């Protein structure tokens, strides 16, 4: 059970589950992209890149003390 909770709270799952739709909806709301599948694809690429950075660095923050 502990591994499941740890997996759900990992940066990659957060990026896919929260950041991807957030980025896609912002792109659609601002009118930058008009196609929903394209917006989600771009949101996925951006979110995964941030999620992988956070996973490897161990932090979402840019400056880690």
49 against 8, higher pLDDT: 49
| The residue count for the chain | 65
Task: Tell which residue, 54, 45, 41, 42, has the closest CA to residue 14.
Answer: 54
17: tokens are 């589950």
Domain-wise residue ranges, the chain: 2-57
- Per-residue confidence (pLDDT) for residue 25, from 0 to 100: 95
- Per-residue confidence (pLDDT) for residue 56, from 0 to 100: 84
Distance CA 26, CA 30 (A): 6
Question: Does 45 have pLDDT greater than 90?
Answer: yes
Burial class (CB in 10 A: 0-12, 13-18, 19+), 12: middle
What are 2-40's pLDDT values in tens digits?
787 777 778 888 889 999 999 999 999 999 999 999 999
């Amino acid at each position: 059970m502990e591994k499941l909770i740890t997996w759900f709270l990992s940066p990659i799952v957060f990026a896919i589950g929260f950041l991807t739709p957030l980025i896609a909806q912002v792109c659609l709301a601002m009118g930058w992209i008009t196609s929903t599948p394209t917006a989600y694809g771009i949101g996925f690429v951006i979110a995964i890149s941030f999620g992988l950075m956070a996973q490897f660095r161990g932090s979402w923050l840019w400056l880690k003390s």
